[in-house]
Amino acid sequence: MLEIKNVYKTFNAGTVNEKVALKDLNLTLEDGDFVTVIGGNGAGKSTMLNAVAGVWPVDMGKIIIDGQDVTRLSEHKRAKYIGRVFQDPMMGTAATMQIDENLALAARRGLARTLKTGITKKEHEEYYELLKTLDLGLENRMTSKVGLLSGGQRQAVTLLMATLKKPKLLLLDEHTAALDPKTAAKVLTLSEKIVEENHLTTLMITHNMKDAIKYGNRLIMMYEGHVIYDVRGEEKKNLQVSDLLKRFEQVSDGGFANDRMLLS
């Protein structure tokens, strides 16, 4: 479903702030893979997701989604294939627009925006039922501005938006990191439910090793811009946090002390 081939990305090339973010990154996702991504700060996790989403062009390499080379497609064109939820709850929704309007925008992802009405009556009813499944009472606040919602509620709505029009690929960029533990757990459970129900190919970044082991069928660890560990199936299920820490220690020797706290 997704192929990342020999992708390189360097920020601020040729300056003192030069930062090699992706270095010969290779990753292939099978249809229906739910992959959790872990790695220390600056390992290139978010950069990988942004490269796939097309936020900026990569320096080298190829990105292929469902057989189509999207390397040169702009961000909004790739959106046709990709659903995204960001770390910052503010980023995924339009705060000054209503909940139902946000959903209607997402329902038209990948379609031409015409002069037809922005949200139909029928859609409105569909969204009511859809919001009901969240169990947050949002179905009764559909005409409220999204800006009035809490971070967790916004992430839940963003999740719905990312998957309303079934994407070929779902990118979750630490989407629960800004939430309190209880809400984070709720949103994670919801994510898993949506992914399983729709059989979505998913990349989920997390800083929480337990979550990385608990969710999904496959786990990858990144370090210095490429994948250093890739495990799936039974082997992944039987992983322990200590195994991952050991792995990490092996590759990063000196740098590990700093990252240990972030990963625990």
Partner 1 sequence: MDFLTSLINSMPGAVAQGLIWGIMAIGVYITYRILDVADLTVDGSLGTGGAVCVVLVLNGVPVGVALLAATLVGMLAGLVTGLFHTACGIPAILAGILTQLALYSVNLRIMGTGTGGGKANLPISVDKYSLLVSARYVRALAANNPIIVLVIFCAILIGVLYWFFGTEMGCSLRATGANQHMARAQGINTNVTIVLGLMVSNGLVALAGGLLAQYQGFSDINMGRGAIVIGLAAVIIGEVIFSKIFRNFALKLLAAVIGAIIYYIVMNFVLRMGLSTDDLKLLTALVVAVFLTIPYWKGKYFTKTPVKKGGKDNA
Which parts of this chain interact with partner 1 (CB under 8 A)? 53, 74-77, 79-80, 82, 84, 86, 90-97, 101, 104-106, 108-111, 113-119, 161
Q: Would you give the DSSP letter of residue 5?
A: E
Q: Would you give the DSSP letter of residue 90?
A: T
Residue 2: its H or E element: strand 2-11
Q: Give the nearer residue to partner 1 in terms of CB position, either 56 or 180.
A: 56
Q: Give the nearer residue to partner 1 in terms of CB position, either 117 or 242.
A: 117
- Shortest spacing between CB 73 and partner 1, in angstroms: 11
Q: Cβ of 192: how many Cβ atoms within 10 Å?
A: 16
Give the pair of three-digit tokens for residue 40: 């220390």
Alpha-carbon gap, residue 162 to 102, rounded angstroms: 11
Q: What is the 3-state secondary structure (H, E, C) of 27-47?
A: EEECCCCEEEEECCCCCCHHH
Q: Give the nearer residue to partner 1 in terms of CB position, either 75 or 230.
A: 75
Q: Give the nearer residue to partner 1 in terms of CB position, either 118 or 151.
A: 118
- Shortest spacing between CB 114 and partner 1, in angstroms: 5
* Cβ(191)–Cβ(157) below 8 Å: no
Beta bridge partner(s), residue 22: 9
State how beta strands 2-11 and 19-29 pair: antiparallel
Q: Give the nearer residue to partner 1 in terms of CB position, either 13 or 95.
A: 95
Q: Give the nearer residue to partner 1 in terms of CB position, either 52 or 227.
A: 52
- Shortest spacing between CB 49 and partner 1, in angstroms: 11
Q: Give the nearer residue to partner 1 in terms of CB position, either 204 or 209.
A: 204
Alpha-carbon gap, residue 237 to 66, rounded angstroms: 27
> If you search the block for the tokens 């999204």, which residue do you land on?
146
Alpha-carbon gap, residue 202 to 48, rounded angstroms: 13
- Shortest spacing between CB 77 and partner 1, in angstroms: 7
Sign of the C-alpha dihedral computed for residues 181, 183, 186 and 192 taken in this order? negative
- Shortest spacing between CB 222 and partner 1, in angstroms: 22
Alpha-carbon gap, residue 160 to 82, rounded angstroms: 13
- Shortest spacing between CB 172 and partner 1, in angstroms: 13
- Shortest spacing between CB 150 and partner 1, in angstroms: 17
